[in-house]
């Protein structure tokens, strides 16, 4: 519905939300549409009158907001950043046979045709509670976990091979697995069979 706004006797718009009545002031007649000055759309009159109602809040910040946010961010970065504390958490009660940085067990691999067999090596620190060299030497060769390796032809071959190595001598063990044997009964813990790589 259009209206002639130059008509002095034009109707006023009742702003029910603010409880006042304002005369319609415009230089050009507004046509039909949702923005037309109409009692059915009372809020749009306030855009021209700056009453504060129905102001359009743009998602783009204005200059003051931009400066305020930037200042706050820089201040937080300057004040909030500090060197992180690094904590050392020693034991409460001293455990036996622990030397920090020297493993009780470590992973190794035994070359096999077309792949390798993963080994879990028990070091002399775990086995005898002392280290003969600066780094713990792997000495442990256990008969194997049949539950893990007993399945399939490859598993049975692997178990047989390791047991043969163990039964032969430490020299063979050293040559194949590339770690030294400490002289006592060696053990190897078999943990898994590597896929072909």
Q: Which residues bind another protein (CB under 8 A)?
A: 58, 60-63, 66, 83, 85-94, 99-102, 131, 134
Tell me the closest approach of the beta carbon of residue 22 to another protein, in angstroms.
24
Whether the Cβ atoms of residue 150 and residue 128 lie closer than 8 Å to each other: no
5 or 131: CB nearest another protein: 131
Residue number, 82 or 196, with CB nearest to another protein: 82
The alpha carbons of the chain give a radius of gyration, in whole angstroms, of 42
DSSP, res 97: T
Give the nearer residue to another protein in terms of CB position, either 5 or 102.
102
Q: Tell the smallest beta-carbon distance from residue 161 to another protein (Å).
A: 33
| CB of residue 158 to another protein, shortest distance in Å | 32
Instruction: Give the residue with the Cβ less far from another protein, 79 or 89.
Output: 89
Please state, in angstroms and rounded to a whole number, the distance separating the CA atoms of residues 183 and 180.
9
Whole-angstrom distance, CA of residue 184 vs CA of residue 181: 8
Q: Give dist(CA 139, CA 179) in Å, integer.
A: 8
Q: Measured from the CB atom, is 1 or 88 closer to another protein?
A: 88
CB of 140 to another protein, least distance (A): 20
* In contact, 103 and 123? CB cutoff 8 Å: yes
Length of the chain: 197
Q: Output the smallest distance, CB 103 to another protein, in A.
A: 11
């Amino acid at each position: 519905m259009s209206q002639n706004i130059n008509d002095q006797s034009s109707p006023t718009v009742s702003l029910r939300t603010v409880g006042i009545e304002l005369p319609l002031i415009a230089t050009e007649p507004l046509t039909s549409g949702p923005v037309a000055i109409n009692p059915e759309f009372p809020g749009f009159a306030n855009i021209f009158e700056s009453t504060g109602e129905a102001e359009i809040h743009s998602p783009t910040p204005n200059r003051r907001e931009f400066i305020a946010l930037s200042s706050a961010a820089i201040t937080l970065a300057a004040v909030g950043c500090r060197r992180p504390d690094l904590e050392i958490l020693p034991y409460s009660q001293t455990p036996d046979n622990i030397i920090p940085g020297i493993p009780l067990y470590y992973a190794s691999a035994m070359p096999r045709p077309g792949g390798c067999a993963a080994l879990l090596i028990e070091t002399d620190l775990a086995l005898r509670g002392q280290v003969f060299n600066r780094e713990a030497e792997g000495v442990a060769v256990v008969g194997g976990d049949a539950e893990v390796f007993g399945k399939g032809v490859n598993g049975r071959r692997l178990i047989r091979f390791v047991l043969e190595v163990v039964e032969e001598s430490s020299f063979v063990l050293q040559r194949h697995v590339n770690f030294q044997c400490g002289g006592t009964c060696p053990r190897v813990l078999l943990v898994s069979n590597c896929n072909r790589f």
